[in-house]
Structure 1
């Protein structure tokens, strides 16, 4: 398993950050421009990544104010999990860690690691931007 991680400190209470991340409808705001055909509910999201793949993801587990675990709801190009972990820094600030765990063979790791790292960094930056407006 390859683990790709990004962290961010967000100037919002943990309850606000968790509420945003627990709803898949909000995740569209965290996606880069090459994601289109977005459709979602609170528990599931479907979208296309330009020149790559169509993905269908669902929330597998929510631990209130701690984490949101997202997994494929249909066959994905490779096995993966997306995990948002939350920790309070103080009453008005939260640490967010976004982890992508992907089952990549050596060739896929060479091709996909860079784009996946860019995606995690992009999403944590967009989360901070969205919630600190």
Structure 2
């Protein structure tokens, strides 16, 4: 299953945007209002939970300076990744899009598609004020 957020334009350089997304503790500022738990576990790993959902641990798996950040599931039963693609428009303007990629059976994909789409849309929308 592959889902993409809308693209959002930030009045920040690609480097500033990349540095913000590289620091996992900054993801707390991007989380939806219905977050019930957020905890930084390591320099590159954090745990979060939304009300009514299980806890999820994400770990930074890959980073291409000023271009891309890849977070992946750290343990648990589901294997997926959350990719932040950063595109420089000019020196102080950057476009960001998040994509979610995971392998799920048809029933699971049907159940999580809506909530995951809304989640990544909220993360990218909150970048306007957080970054």
1:5 aligns with 2:4: yes
Could you state the TM-score of these two structures normalised by the residue count of structure 1? 0.91
Give, in whole Å, the separation in 1 of the partners of 2:114 and 2:37.
24
Give, in whole Å, the separation in 1 of the partners of 2:61 and 2:79.
14
How far has the Cα of 1:84 moved from its partner?
0.5
CA offset digits 1:45-72 (Å, max 9, x no partner):
0122221211111101111101111111
Q: Which residue number in structure 2 is paired with residue 64 of structure 1?
A: 65
Give, in whole Å, the separation in 2 of the partners of 1:120 and 1:57.
14
Give the conservation status (yes or no) of the 8 Å contact 1:14–1:93: yes
Q: Which residue number in structure 2 is paired with residue 38 of structure 1?
A: 38
Alignment of 1:106-121 (within 5 A): 106-121=106-121
Give, in whole Å, the separation in 2 of the partners of 1:52 and 1:97.
24
Taking only aligned residues, the RMSD between alpha carbons, in angstroms, comes to 1.2
Give, in whole Å, the separation in 2 of the partners of 1:34 and 1:79.
23
Q: Which moved more, 1:18-27 or 1:41-50?
A: 41-50
Q: Which moved more, 1:65-74 or 1:18-27?
A: 65-74
Q: Which residue number in structure 2 is paired with residue 54 of structure 1?
A: 55
Q: Which residue number in structure 2 is paired with residue 129 of structure 1?
A: 129
Please list every run of 5 or more consecutive structure 1 residues that lacks an aligned counterpart in the other structure.
Answer: none
Give, in whole Å, the separation in 2 of the partners of 1:50 and 1:105.
24
Runs of 4+ in structure 1 off by over 6 angstroms are: none
Please list every run of 5 or more consecutive structure 2 residues that lacks an aligned counterpart in the other structure.
Answer: none
Instruction: Report how many residues are paired.
Output: 129
Give the conservation status (yes or no) of the 8 Å contact 1:22–1:42: no
